[in-house]
Amino acid sequence: MIFRITALALMLVYSATAESYGSLRCKGKIIDEGMSMHKVLSLCGEPNSRRIEQAPVRHRNAIGYSSFSGVSHTELWEYDRGWGKFPIVLRFVDETIKRVEYRERRADAGEDD
């Protein structure tokens, strides 16, 4: 009995973490962390939406002071995978995928105003 409860608990924990990060397949290839923007575009085509963010990058020196060292460029690409599937968001930092995640559909998605 204890084994069954433990197994069930582990399955629930695994399924919860498996849904927070996803993968996207394009032309039979898995799109995953570390891929370049160029490779994703060649396999998946243009995303449904793009958003570009820039953030200052700071670093600390040996004494503990921090200073500005440049700008990080982040792009968020969203691919709508069709009816019944959550959209996938690819987070690129300096033109490389850093995270693949599912996006929940908005309550107003698909409704006409």
CA separation for the pair 85, 93 (Å, rounded): 25
Residue 55 lies in a domain: yes
Which of the four pLDDT bands, split at 50, 70 and 90, describes residue 112? very low
Is residue 21 scored above 70 in pLDDT? no
Query: Within a 10 A sphere around the Cβ of 77, how many other Cβ atoms?
Result: 21
Residue 1 lies in a domain: no
Q: Please tell me which residue, 87 or 6, carries the higher pLDDT value.
A: 87
**What is the rounded average pLDDT for all residues in the chain?**
78
- The parent domain of residue 64 ranges over 22-102
Residue 25 confidence (pLDDT): 83
CB of 61 closer than 8 Å to CB of 67: yes
Residue 49 confidence (pLDDT): 93
Residue 88 lies in a domain: yes
Residue 28 lies in a domain: yes
- Count up the domains in the chain and report the number: 1
Percentage above 70 pLDDT, the chain: 72
DSSP state of 48: S
Residue 10 lies in a domain: no
**pLDDT (tens digit, 9 = 90+) per residue, 22-73?**
567 888 888 889 999 999 999 999 999 999 988 888 888 888 888 888 888 8
